Structure 1
């Protein structure tokens, strides 16, 4: 019996990643399990759109019809997609040849709403000695501490994720206030989407399948301490936004487990590496973990404080999910 039809969405915004984008497009066109449709969404860059439309074949090149940013571009991709499964790949990532063949079979289970895979970093200038694998989420990759076998999770990773198309029909698209906007390193739009979808359909599952692998390019500037701390701050801000949108503090359970279990081990591992092997990078890695934890927490608390201040809160702030049909009609709320 034939499996579900698949549409792949790749969002892009800059010509600076041209070669990476072409490699990513080529990788999805060469899948052992061919997709029905490949869509490239250009985020408000007319020059890039025209260049792509002329240069590539076998894909649909469209312009973002929504707000500027990754969430708006992804929503445009969803609106264009005809497949039963909508799969997302970053414009600086390259899929392994069996990527779809690993992702799609999990949808044989009707209770599975979304499936994500492993994202392996490909460092442009090599991994910095002070950058521990436990912090690879900072560069959008799978980090040490995630499961090694297919497992139910709260959310998938944005660079390598997929959803049933019907999920978007039921709960709407990615939230426009979340997600990267140009060089602003915000995120968590996929986290909020997975949470909203799961709340809407109790008893369903989001699954992480580490055998479905993509390779994610990491430029040298994303390995700097300046970027690490800026991204940590933005992560705190983004998590605060997700908390406000859901109205549920308990949604951050995975983060609390990560802080209690994964980060202490990372600090211990770094110090042991220095103490037993004389590795100076071990102390640096331990210090970076502590700094990232502190900056993320301050970003989170500061964002919550700003939102709760009467003088700072913007009119019309909504703390509850609203399910919006594609025609714009309100379909209900989740408490």
Structure 2
């Protein structure tokens, strides 16, 4: 393969729009409109493009078991771009040892695009390990993944998105810890594939992030806490405990997924399921880890390109279901964010029964033992906003956990929607009486 071709070795491929023909410009604009990423550029890049071996040197010295279990990879898609979907499939097939890959299960969540009908079926005939499941109606991410899980026969199920690229050595760091302990759930390091140029940007093990959340129940990324660094003896390549997962990419024992109650099928389309299963793993006796030696690239886009149809407030309803079942008294902090407009979130009695049956711990236990870094509003000395009456200014602590012994910082908020500065809102969560 020509490593000098467009996008090879993960390099960016840039298009000068002014040099495109009128037909190409229409194709360029249409690709962005339909996908919220640059499909025009993706189509210029080989679906089997080469990537560098990004693993840290320490990762190359790790010895894994010679008897690792087989995996079933489940990919759910809805109206995915042709070249992006094929690149995802090829990256799995080309960079997974055949002895470890039982199957790739594609779950079509009621796509309407013509290229995902007959042309896709015809293309997939050449792959013995690739199966295609068609949902009879729109299922959403959680129910679509359950369809894939039910069809899987591998001992471990790996859930992936349909716009990813697996790198060399991606699978062994995910399945080895699960083979040693079936209640362990693993996530890879999620590298960024630029939505415009499709450049693959690698994150070294030293900069691995862990998942968190805030009281709006939005997923957040954070650096590894010092306590966790000490536990790992500052060996950056070792798996790291993560309070939550992003949700798009993770590996789990098929039997443990069933034991945990799979997904909450009352959740619609997308949103909230990642935090829900993260809380459930930790509170019900499991462990959630990120493997710095496993890298998968993901095309991040600003918003989903598909419609949620007539269903309104899908993410809010999903989050309320989660809060009602798992957050105990702490659900009040989320409800304050949504002004107690809980909406019609459906029946959660079966999920509460699941929690009782599994004898899961309290959410307070989770906050103390898994995510002590999260500031609980009731524990703050003061909360609210401080604003200048004469200038568009506000105060914000520059320190993640509001160290009251360090000075506050003044930010200019003029012209910023929602008074957001460098990704932070101008809000004080903790303030010293001496400040």
- TM-score in terms of structure 1 length: 0.63
Secondary structure at the aligned position of 2:168 is classed as coil
Q: 1:289 aligns with which of 396, 417, 424?
A: 424
Structure 2 spans left out of the alignment, 5+ residues: 1-65, 198-208, 226-235, 305-312, 331-362, 377-396, 403-407, 430-435
- Greater CA drift, 38-47 or 6-15: 38-47
- Report the counterpart of residue 257 of structure 1 in structure 2: 373
CA contact (8 A) 1:119 1:141 kept: no
Alpha-carbon distance change, 146 to 239 in structure 1, aligned in 2, over 3 angstroms? farther
Rounded to whole Å, the distance in 2 between the matches of 1:292 and 1:110 is 42
Secondary structure at the aligned position of 1:36 is classed as strand
2:147 matches 1:63: no
- Report the counterpart of residue 50 of structure 1 in structure 2: 118
CA RMSD of aligned residues (A): 4.2
Please state which structure has a larger fraction of its residues in helix. Answer: 1
Secondary structure at the aligned position of 2:245 is classed as coil
CA contact (8 A) 2:281 2:288 kept: no
Q: 1:158 aligns with which of 236, 244, 247?
A: 247
Rounded to whole Å, the distance in 1 between the matches of 2:119 and 2:195 is 25
- Report the counterpart of residue 211 of structure 1 in structure 2: 293
- 1:142-221 to structure 2, matched below 5 A, reads 143-146=221-224, 149-178=238-267, 181=269, 186-200=270-284, 202=285, 204-219=286-301, 221=302
Rounded to whole Å, the distance in 2 between the matches of 1:291 and 1:14 is 39
- Report the counterpart of residue 241 of structure 1 in structure 2: 321
| 1:176 Cα deviation after fit | 2.5
Answer 1 or 2: higher relative contact order, Cα 8 Å, separation at least 6: 1
CA contact (8 A) 1:9 1:86 kept: yes
Structure 1 spans left out of the alignment, 5+ residues: 127-132, 224-232, 276-280, 295-335
CA deviations 1:157-216 (Å, max 9, x no partner) are: 32220110002332332113336x2xxxx423133224334444x3x3222212211111
- 1:1-335 to structure 2, matched below 5 A, reads 1-15=66-80, 17-34=81-98, 35-45=101-111, 47=114, 48-56=116-124, 57-58=126-127, 59-64=130-135, 68-125=139-196, 143-146=221-224, 149-178=238-267, 181=269, 186-200=270-284, 202=285, 204-219=286-301, 221-222=302-303, 238-246=318-326, 248=328, 249=330, 250=363, 253=367, 257-258=373-374, 264-265=398-399, 286-290=421-425
Secondary structure at the aligned position of 1:158 is classed as coil
- TM-score in terms of structure 2 length: 0.50
CA contact (8 A) 1:154 1:191 kept: no
Secondary structure at the aligned position of 2:423 is classed as helix
CA contact (8 A) 2:73 2:159 kept: yes
Larger radius of gyration: 2
Rounded to whole Å, the distance in 2 between the matches of 1:159 and 1:86 is 13
Rounded to whole Å, the distance in 2 between the matches of 1:207 and 1:21 is 27
Secondary structure at the aligned position of 1:30 is classed as helix
Alpha-carbon distance change, 267 to 8 in structure 1, aligned in 2, over 3 angstroms? same
- Greater CA drift, 162-171 or 247-256: 247-256
| 1:101 Cα deviation after fit | 1.9
